[in-house]
């Protein structure tokens, strides 16, 4: 499910930028920040003059309910685990150097505009979700203060780049086993008194 969500966002953002700016080339690439660190050290990985998209955190939604539910099936009941819901935090960073810095800010602004235009993804407005079994998710801009940005970029072990973080969710994770544990229904209660 995480992969379908990230792939959908990457595809939709690039489609939006291509239409809005009039370019034929993808301006947003998904990469691991370890690759970016290697690039800064002179390795052959090259994502210069691109917007870097990367998952920086996955957080489980806090719930205050029993994760199990009982579903009647015939005369018996089955225990069914409810889905576990997650938020995915995605960082978009402008990896543009020297004379291209302003170009990077233009593309970063386009990403923000995209999420202003489309912040809720459903199977109706994003047909590719139908093949992923992901029904819907939303995107929320995360406001980071200076200390949080410093901590984030320190954890990524790379130098700061102009960036925004979006919280994407809820992403449900569940399994559909071929059988469920059956619990017989209570038919009679004996009272010994």
DSSP assignment of the chain: -HHHHHHHHHHHHHHHHHHHH--SS--EEE--HHHHHHHHTT-S---TTEEEEEEEEEEEPP--S-SEEEEEETTEEEEEEPPEEEEEEEEEEEE--GGGHHHHHHHHHHHHHHHHH--EEETTT-GGGGGGT--EEEEEEEP--HHHHHHHHHHHTS----EEEEEEEEEEE----S---EEEPP-------
Instruction: Convert the pLDDT of each residue in 22-61 to its tens digit.
Output: 889 999 999 887 666 665 666 555 678 899 999 999 999 8
7 domain residue, yes or no: yes
Instruction: Convert the pLDDT of each residue in 129-176 to its tens digit.
Output: 877 778 889 999 999 999 999 999 998 888 889 999 999 988 888 766
183 domain residue, yes or no: no
38 domain residue, yes or no: yes
**Residue 73 confidence (pLDDT):** 72
d(CA 11, CA 116): 17
> Residue length, the chain?
193
136 domain residue, yes or no: yes
Structural domain of 135: 2-58+85-170
193 domain residue, yes or no: no
160 domain residue, yes or no: yes
> For the chain, what is the domain count?
1
154 domain residue, yes or no: yes
Instruction: Convert the pLDDT of each residue in 69-126 to its tens digit.
Output: 777 777 777 777 777 889 999 999 999 888 899 999 999 999 999 999 999 999 899 8
132 domain residue, yes or no: yes
- The pTM of this model reads 0.81
């Amino acid at each position: 499910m995480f992969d379908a969500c990230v792939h959908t966002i990457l595809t939709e953002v690039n489609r939006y930028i291509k239409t809005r700016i009039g370019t034929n080339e993808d301006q947003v690439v998904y990469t691991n920040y370890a690759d970016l660190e290697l690039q800064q050290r002179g390795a052959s990985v090259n994502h210069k003059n691109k917007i870097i998209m990367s998952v920086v955190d996955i957080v489980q939604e806090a719930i205050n309910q029993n994760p199990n539910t009982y579903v009647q099936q015939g005369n018996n009941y089955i225990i069914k685990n409810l889905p576990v819901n997650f938020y995915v935090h995605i960082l978009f960073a402008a990896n543009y150097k020297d004379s291209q810095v302003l170009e990077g800010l233009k593309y970063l602004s386009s990403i923000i505009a995209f999420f202003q235009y489309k912040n809720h993804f459903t199977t109706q407005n994003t047909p590719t979700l139908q093949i992923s079994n992901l029904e819907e998710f939303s995107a929320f801009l995360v406001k980071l203060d200076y200390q949080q940005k410093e901590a984030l970029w320190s954890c990524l072990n790379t130098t700061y780049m102009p960036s925004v973080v979006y919280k994407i969710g809820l992403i449900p994770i569940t399994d559909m086993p071929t059988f469920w544990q059956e619990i017989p229904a209570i038919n009679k209660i004996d009272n010994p008194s």
